[in-house]
Homo-oligomer: A and B are copies of this chain.
Amino acid sequence: MAESVTIHGELDLLARAGHLFSSVSEEFVCAARDLDTWPRPRSQESARARVRASPVQRVRKLFSPTVLVGEDSRRGLVELAGSGAQVRIAAGALPHETIVMDRRYAILAGADAPTGRAYTVTTDPAVVGGVYALFEAAWEAATDLAAFLRGEQPHLDSGSRAVLRALGSGATDEAAARELGMSLRTYRRRVAELLAALDAGSRFQAGVRAGELGLTG
């Protein structure tokens, strides 16, 4: 096979590069904008089958946050995670679809075109390596799906936000309560509620959670 081939359309891709998928042994990584843009019909089953059928050591899938908007795709994600793949959500937009297999092949999806979506399959080490490293960087900075779902804005009312700010300022409970014009007792009640909402066992942990969720900026 040449170092780099361009293929138009999904069917053609499956026909000409399908064998690559079954040849994956070590690692399969994928960054995509949508959940399984790709073998579209019966997406969940086929995805699961693909993961389960092959003896791949490690499957990592990185998605844009937009995959979480619909209930369907959200369920698909959870299922995907349940079937052994590591799933993370990036902060921003991602490619249409970019796949690296065993650090040897890369498949990059281009824009839709009249002739079908353009896919480029390459074995060029520089391209594969570069894409893989960029994937790593994006992966590192992304949030695990579980954490993302768990931490999904534990919707806090404005009161709790104020408490959060007070806590973050480093003031003592007494000062904070005075500042907020409420009694010490109530302030502490609020703090307790906040810890419960953040599922934190200590104020420190709550601080970490709050910081991670960007509830303090």
Interface set of A (CB-CB < 8 Å, partner B): 3-4, 6, 31, 62, 90-96, 98, 108-111, 118-120, 122, 124-127, 129-138, 140-142, 167-172, 200-212, 216
Q: List 5 A-B contacts (CB under 8 A).
A: A6-B126, A95-B130, A120-B126, A134-B135, A167-B204
Please tell me if the beta carbons of A127 and B137 are within 8 angstroms of each other in the complex: no
- In the assembly, what is the distance between CA of A107 and CA of B131, in Å? 11
- B-chain residues with CB within 8 Å of residue A136 when the two chains form the complex: 92-93
- B-chain residues with CB within 8 Å of residue A135 when the two chains form the complex: 134
Please tell me if the beta carbons of A211 and B201 are within 8 angstroms of each other in the complex: no
Shortest beta-carbon distance from A214 to chain B in Å: 9
- B-chain residues with CB within 8 Å of residue A108 when the two chains form the complex: 124, 126-127, 129-131
Tell me which of B122, B141, B167, B200 contacts A90 (CB under 8 A): B141
Tell me which of B93, B140, B207, B212 contacts A204 (CB under 8 A): B207
- In the assembly, what is the distance between CA of A134 and CA of B201, in Å? 37
Determine the residue in chain B with the shortest Cβ distance to A122.
Answer: B127
Given contacts A96-B130, A169-B201, 10 further A-B contacts (CB under 8 A): A3-B6, A90-B140, A93-B133, A93-B136, A98-B130, A110-B126, A120-B126, A122-B127, A204-B204, A205-B207
Please tell me if the beta carbons of A92 and B140 are within 8 angstroms of each other in the complex: yes
Shortest beta-carbon distance from A198 to chain B in Å: 10
Please tell me if the beta carbons of B124 and A204 are within 8 angstroms of each other in the complex: no
Tell me which of B111, B122, B125 contacts A125 (CB under 8 A): B111
- In the assembly, what is the distance between CA of A202 and CA of B216, in Å? 15
Please tell me if the beta carbons of A201 and B171 are within 8 angstroms of each other in the complex: yes
Please tell me if the beta carbons of B170 and A200 are within 8 angstroms of each other in the complex: yes
- In the assembly, what is the distance between CA of A200 and CA of B122, in Å? 50
Known contacts A91-B137, A140-B92; A168 and B4 CB within 8 A of each other: no
Please tell me if the beta carbons of B95 and A133 are within 8 angstroms of each other in the complex: yes
- B-chain residues with CB within 8 Å of residue A172 when the two chains form the complex: 202
